[in-house]
Amino acid sequence: MCHTLLHDPKLYTLLLQIDEQLAAQCRAAACACGGVLHSARYERKPRGVLALLPDMEWRRQSYCCADCRRRSTPRSVFYLGRRVYVAAMVLLGTAWRGAASGRALRDLCTALRVPRMTFDRWRAWWNETFPLTRCWQSLRGDFMPPLSGSLPAALLTRLSAEDSLQRLARVLRLIAPLSTVTEGRR
């Protein structure tokens, strides 16, 4: 996969469509108390795509129960929790960072407009914190033999799909529980 994928509007259109599907499933499930869920979307300013798609309205899908007022935020493949960069950039940027050094790393930082320290922080999160999450604990048994190499590159290479866009979407669906406070955290 090359970094031009992150500059392709088709990627973000696909991810937003998947988010709409996940939001519809969440709303259809209703609140645990049985109350009706009303839209309570909130604004986000995701780094890495604002310049690419300036006309989009960046709002995170979320719902609020009419009875108990409990917030219900569905899983997302576009956002990765409270991180300011979009999930695709965190995933692919970290995978590419693992293979880049010297001039290639400087070129990657320039092309994606992400500081090197941010890449290093993401890499530490993927290889130190992510393996401890409930999300990964439930997924890792599905990969036999176990993944070899550093995450997330090993995860991207293990999954098969018809093209790199679909492969990325598959991985983002797998880690979608990490996008909400109520799921996927330790």
Radius of gyration of the CA atoms of the chain, in A? 17
Those residues whose C-beta lies under 8 Å from the C-beta of residue 115, and which sit 6 or more positions away, are: 109
Across the chain, the runs of DSSP E, i.e. the strands, are 37-39, 42-43, 59-60, 63-65, 71-72
Pairing of strands 63-65, 37-39: antiparallel
pLDDT score at 122: 92
Q: Are 180 and 87 in contact (CB under 8 A)?
A: no
**3-state DSSP assignment of residue 13:** helix
pLDDT score at 50: 53
pLDDT score at 52: 60
Which residues of the chain are under the pLDDT cut of 50? 1, 183-186
Residue type, 48: G
pLDDT score at 185: 41
pLDDT score at 186: 40
Those residues whose C-beta lies under 8 Å from the C-beta of residue 145, and which sit 6 or more positions away, are: none
pLDDT score at 55: 65
pLDDT score at 51: 59
Query: Across the strands, what pairs with 63?
Result: 39, 72
pLDDT score at 103: 85
Phi, psi of 7 (to 5 degrees): -100, 10
pTM (two decimals): 0.85
Mind listing the pLDDT tens digit for each residue in 91-138? Answer: 988 888 777 778 888 888 888 888 999 999 999 999 999 999 999 999
